[in-house]
């Protein structure tokens, strides 16, 4: 059977401010999400027996616990479809890197299966389901760079500059739960009053705690910081810096390659997943 193959792009938090902590333990934050033209790739094929089978084993992640499988089964249950799917994953994005690998895979799964199963679901409905899987899933479902508030689910589309980024990938997985529960984490940043959001008065409030606990991340920040402003994305571990051209980003990556692992990718305000879906819809309607 013909497969539907779609990308699951990485994201960056261009900055991340934590403005409070709710009674349920979740943190209130303000951040800007932007996508990268770089990520995982998933393929989907219909099954008529209702089974959801991820055909790619992920080390350390049981099949039924994988966000891809959980996303597919939740969509299946809430839509009432009798169809299933075989799913294959080409994993590129690191786990625990702060660039949204698992959340992006889940969002691609929701959009792909809504398309394959011919469900008449709006983006709002898919994003609401996505939020039950993870706070970052809705932005991947919606597919536009966004200023986010709340736990990250209140999204306002924005259009920041789209530079080339060099992303360093320290060989360490950072636990989001560990960072958000750390007693020294800043939790009282003042909410921003200006829109559009100023770039100059921003930072990642998680970065000091991660630097303290993970020397690999601190080293990556120091290495990249010699060439451009370096910042951590999400709760880490990945570190990024902007460059005016691919050639310049590639040059710096080559200089750092003896001690650091990384990649170069273009910033994008429209997710490559949504660009691919739109081209598929245009083809099928023409």
Residues in binding site for ATP? 94-104
Catalytic residue, from 40, 105, 136, 205: name it.
136
88 class by beta-carbon count within 10 Å (0-12 exposed, 13-18 middle, 19+ buried)? middle
Q: Which residues sit in the known binding site?
A: 94-104
Q: Which residues of 248-272 are buried (b: 16+ CB within 10 A; e: fewer)?
A: bbeebbeebeeebebbbbebbbebb
47 class by beta-carbon count within 10 Å (0-12 exposed, 13-18 middle, 19+ buried)? middle
Active site residue 136: yes
Active site residue 48: no
Catalytic residue, from 3, 11, 124, 266: name it.
11
HEC profile of 49-70: CCCEEECCCECCECHHHCHHHH
Tokens of 241: 């810096």
Confirm if 88 and 5 have CB atoms less than 8 A apart.
no
- Cα(237)–Cα(252) distance, integer angstroms: 19
150 class by beta-carbon count within 10 Å (0-12 exposed, 13-18 middle, 19+ buried)? middle
Confirm if 132 and 148 have CB atoms less than 8 A apart.
no
Q: What is the DSSP string of 53-121?
A: EE-S-BTTB-GGGSHHHHHHHHHHHHHT---EEEEEEE--SPTTSSS-HHHHHHHHHHHHHHHHTT---
Catalytic residues: 11, 136
């Amino acid at each position: 059977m013909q497969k539907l193959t779609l990308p699951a792009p990485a994201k960056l938090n261009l900055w991340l401010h934590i403005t409070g902590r709710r009674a349920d333990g979740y943190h209130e934050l303000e951040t800007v999400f932007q996508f990268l033209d770089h990520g995982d790739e998933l393929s989907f094929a219909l099954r008529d027996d209702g089974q959801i089978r991820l055909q790619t084993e992920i080390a350390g992640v049981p099949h039924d616990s994988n966000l891809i499988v959980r996303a597919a089964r939740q969509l299946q249950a809430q839509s009432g479809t009798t169809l299933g799917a075989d799913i294959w994953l080409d994993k590129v994005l690191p786990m625990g890197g702060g660039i949204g690998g698992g959340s992006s895979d889940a969002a691609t799964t929701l959009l792909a299966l809504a398309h394959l199963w011919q469900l008449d679901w709006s983006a709002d409905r898919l994003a609401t389901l996505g939020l039950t899987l993870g706070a970052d899933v809705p932005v991947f479902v919606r597919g536009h760079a966004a200023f986010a508030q709340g736990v990250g689910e209140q999204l306002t589309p924005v259009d920041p500059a789209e530079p080339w980024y060099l992303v360093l990938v320290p060989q360490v997985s950072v636990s989001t739960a560990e960072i958000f529960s750390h007693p020294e984490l800043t939790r009282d940043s003042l909410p921003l009053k200006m829109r559009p959001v100023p770039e100059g008065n921003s930072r990642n409030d998680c970065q000091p705690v991660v630097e303290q606990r993970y020397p690999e991340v601190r080293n990556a920040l120091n290495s990249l910081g010699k060439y451009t402003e370096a910042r951590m994305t999400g709760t880490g571990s990945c570190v990024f810096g902007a460059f005016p051209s691919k050639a310049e980003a590639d040059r710096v990556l080559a200089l750092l390659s003896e001690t650091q692992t990384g990649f170069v990718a273009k910033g994008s305000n429209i997710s490559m997943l949504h660009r691919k879906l739109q081209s598929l819809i245009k083809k099928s309607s023409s």
